[in-house]
Amino acid sequence: MRLMKQIPCRGKSPYGIFYIDTVGIDSASLARESAQMRWLGASVPTPHTWARFVGWPRARRQRNGGTTMTQRCRTALLLAAIVALAGCAAPAENIVYPAGALAPAGNKPGVWDVTRPPPGLPRVDNAGKTDVTQALIQYLTLASKVPGPRGGRGPHNIVYLPNGVYRISGTLTYDGPERKQWQKLHIQGQSRADTVIRLADNCPGFTDPAVPRGVLDLTRVSNPGNNNQDCTVRNLTIDVGSGNAGAIGIDWCANNMNGLERVAIRSSGEQPLGRVGFRSTFRASGGGLAKHLRIDGFDIGIETGGLPGYHYEWLELAGIREAGIRHVKSAATVRKLSFHAAGPNVPAVVLDGEDAVMVLLDSTFEGRAGSAIQLRNGWLYARDVESSGFQNLLVDRTRRPAKTVSGPRLGSEYVSGPVLHAGFPGQPLRSLGLPIEETPELPWDPPEQWLSVTDFGAVPDDGDDNGAGDDTAAVQAAIDATANPSSPHRGKTTLYFPGGLYRILHTIQVRGSIRRVHFLFSRIRHSRAAADYADGAVFCIRDGAYDTVLFHDYSYGNTTVPFIRNRSARTVVLKHLAPRAALYTADVPGARVYIENCTAHTSDGDGLRIVGDIKVWARWYDPEGSQPHRKLYNDGGTIWVLGYKIGEMPTDSCDTYTLNGGRTELLGGLMNRCGGHPPSAAPMHRVDDAHFAFVGLERDAGGSNETIVRETRDGRTRELGRAALPARPGSRTMPGEQRARIFPLVVAHRPGNPE
């Protein structure tokens, strides 16, 4: 084993982040040694997914004198488990695009490399020598104005910042008057460690904490809802500099498919000051995922409270002076939070809103005196939380008298409100406690491993709606070339779609050596005839050279069939996808799917549908659409969701349907009812001889359900009605929104162990 790199990090472990070269570790040894690591409490995945820590898709076999190097395997696994437990699991990244992905002009879709700009856009200095505020504003302003081939909603642009320092002296936002919506903004750095946007020290407008101001600001919108759909910020650092006590690192407003990934927000210099690291309190703002987010050196790490809420995983807050997270409204879920206070009496989490709901899982807090979790007002569901240095782990002032948890660890569940169910006797008053698996991390392939669909005849922005310009054959030819022994493209691993609009009018078979399908936020136009898709989906996953396949970065495209179907035993990862279609379906036993920051539209099918022994782990899932289809259908499988928004319009059936021993757990989110529809007679959630649990809250602007859960056991049916749920205080933010409810924890346990 060779230790390749060490990056210090503030975590529970002093060891930092290690990147390990595992030459000499064979797959069989990984499998044997994985069982020995479980005593550490780590989630030990299948052998090939250790690439998340060691940087390889699979362990490579090498022998030393004919003996397999199991001691190297044991050491590598030990270090990987230590890193995982320390909350520092983000792998190294080096995001580089091939030349074919770059936009050909400033008015064309694709990747805009700000250091190698297309004609019509300025070159941006990344050496930290000149002020680039206005140049970056120009990119952000144009990013959401590139039209589609015939106007309307077009493909997106990715504003790409290679490694370097980008010196600014003002807020990064769009230029011009406040607009209704600001959509399709994607800011992509090369790496979190080395792509740095740095605010000037003691910068005018950022020094007064009483008048805070965003360094990156997406809140300049006038529309009360549906703001800033499909926005991402990834793989970069925002440094608010020194002496800027009023700085907000990111002032966020976005909805549906949006998120932050591998982002650091910090203060620095002689006076490392800042007001808030990440703020998401704008009206009708939220519903997204922030993962591998580190915030260091602010009064408040995160301030959240916009509707429908925000969701965090692998979150690190360090050097915090007032509160780690201050949650004041709507839903928030937090998993794998590592908190480090800068001084005494600094809480890790403060809930202070009458309709603030939080789910808190698998987190550690380090502080001095006071209480780690302060529940002043609102609703909390928490489990597997521990602290050190605090006087108390939790103080719940919503109870009369206040309840205090003083131990260092909260292993069992804590539910601040009532646990509710449909009324079957002997119902366990707890969640399902489903096992949680981490999303597999695939390596970012170097440009020479990328394969463009245009190299095989696909032409963006041509054709018409009558079938001309069908790109199906070209896309399939590109995929199949990777398995052709005589092709120069044999073994290539990333398939990509350069910016534009493509037509895929028949099913694409994903096979060969392709392990990543990167849409680059291009659009796809589909056939509206379901019979045109032989496998009942636009993309059908078949067996291939790699056990895991990833689809990511796609938005918009109507179809009458699901976007992706898995007809193999391969593991599937879906990230940053927003098709106007059902998202995913699978029916092969043993298949696994991991979903992050995805939406679905259910006008033509169930948004997420699994049948049989299939397991789903989802982080921020937002299915929308109209009757009669369900947002989630689970027939005998397992679905775990961290952060959701479900609803929009009423259905004639139900929003979620779990049956035949299925297990569904929805932790933290919004049941969204809008559109002024009359109340629905269908249940919100239907459970037939299965297991179900959910936590969250409701927005009621028309079309709400009178029955929250309809549970059937052995032919007997009972219901949990709306009146049994706590009313949502403060929900009257829109006309008619007067009947909304809080869901502290609602359960339906089929007799027997759900495990």
Cβ atoms of 662 and 685 within 8 Å: the answer is no
Under 8 Å between Cβ of 145 and 194 = no
Parallel, antiparallel or unpaired: strands 501-504 and 592-601: unpaired
Mean residue pLDDT of the chain comes to 83
Provide the pLDDT for residue 755.
52
Which residues does residue 473 pair with via DSSP β-bridges, in sequence order?
A: none
CB 374 within 8 A of CB 347: yes
Say what the pLDDT of residue 71 is.
Answer: 46
Which tokens is 213 given? Answer: 């101001």
Tell me which amino acid residue 657 is.
Answer: Y
CB 350 within 8 A of CB 374: yes
Classify residue 648 as left (phi > 0), alpha (psi -120 to 50) or beta: left
CB 532 within 8 A of CB 504: no
Evaluate whether 282 touches 250 at the Cβ level (below 8 Å): no
E-strand stretches of 423-469:
450-452
The angle subtended at Cα 96 by Cα 504 and Cα 441, nearest 5°, is 75
Q: Which of 164, 168, 101 is nearest to 140 (CA)?
A: 168
- Per 3-state DSSP, the chain is made up of helix, strand and coil in percentages (nearest 5) of 10, 45, 45
**Span 472-494, pLDDT tens digits:** 999 999 999 999 999 999 999 99
Residue type, 191: S
Cis peptide leading into residue 628 (ω within 30°): yes
Amino acid at 463: G
C-alpha span between 693 and 151 (Å, rounded)? 44
β-partners of residue 333 are: 311, 359
Alpha-helix runs per DSSP H in 50-198 = 51-54, 70-86, 133-143
Closest CA to 506 of 541, 467, 455, 448: 467
Which residues lie closer than 8 Å to 460 by C-beta, 6 or more apart? 454, 497, 498, 499, 500, 501, 502, 522
Q: Which pLDDT belongs to residue 60?
A: 33
Euclidean distance between CA atoms 653 and 45, whole angstroms: 37
For residues 63 and 583, what is the distance between their CA atoms, to the nearest angstrom? 44
Residue 486 contacts by C-beta under 8 Å, 6 or more apart in sequence?
none
Which 3-state string (H, E, C) describes 650-676? CCCCCCEEEECCCEEEEEEEEEEECCC
Give the other-Cβ count within 10 Å of 488's Cβ: 8
d(CA 121, CA 138): 8
**Cβ neighbours of 130 (radius 10 Å):** 12
pLDDT at res. 184: 76
Name the DSSP class of 221: B
The answer for residues whose C-beta is within 8 angstroms of residue 282's C-beta and 6 or more apart is: 219, 221, 227, 251, 252, 253, 306
Are 655 and 633 a contacting pair, CB within 8 Å? no
Closest CA to 170 of 143, 135, 203: 203
CA of 114: how far to CAs of 123, 124, 156, 174, in Å? 6, 5, 16, 16
Low-confidence ranges of the chain (pLDDT < 50): 1-89, 148-152, 733-736
Q: What residues have CB less than 8 Å from 442, skipping those under 6 apart?
A: 51, 57, 515, 516, 548, 550, 573
- Name the helix (H) or strand (E) containing 36: helix 27-36
Residue recorded with tokens 């269908």:
682
Residue among 130, 192, 120 nearest 166 (CA): 130
DSSP single-letter state for residue 514: -
Q: Is the pTM of this model over 0.95?
A: no
Contacts of 150 (CB under 8 A, 6+ apart): none
Structure tokens at 341: 């206070």
Separation between Cα atoms, residue 672 and residue 307, nearest integer Å:
10
Q: How far apart are the first and last CA of the chain?
A: 37
> How far apart (Å, rounded) are the C-alpha atoms in residues 167 and 128?
5
* Cα 14–Cα 293–Cα 215 angle in degrees, nearest 5: 125
> Strand 516-518 and strand 494-496: pairing?
parallel
**What is residue 510's three-state secondary structure?**
strand
**Whole-number Å distance between alpha carbons of 226 and 185:** 14
| Inter-CA distances, 723 with 158, 255, 683, Å | 47, 30, 14
Residue listed under structure tokens 């239907």? 686
What's residue 607's pLDDT? 85
Tokens matching residue 123: 């070159």
SS3 67: strand
- Tokens for 571, please give them: 């593991």
Q: Which residues contact 545 (CB under 8 A, 6 or more apart)?
A: 482, 483, 491, 512, 513, 515
What 3-state class would DSSP assign to 395?
Answer: strand
Q: Cα 118 vs. chain centroid, distance in angstroms?
A: 31
CA distance 493 to 462: 27
Only one residue has tokens 């690192």, namely: 249
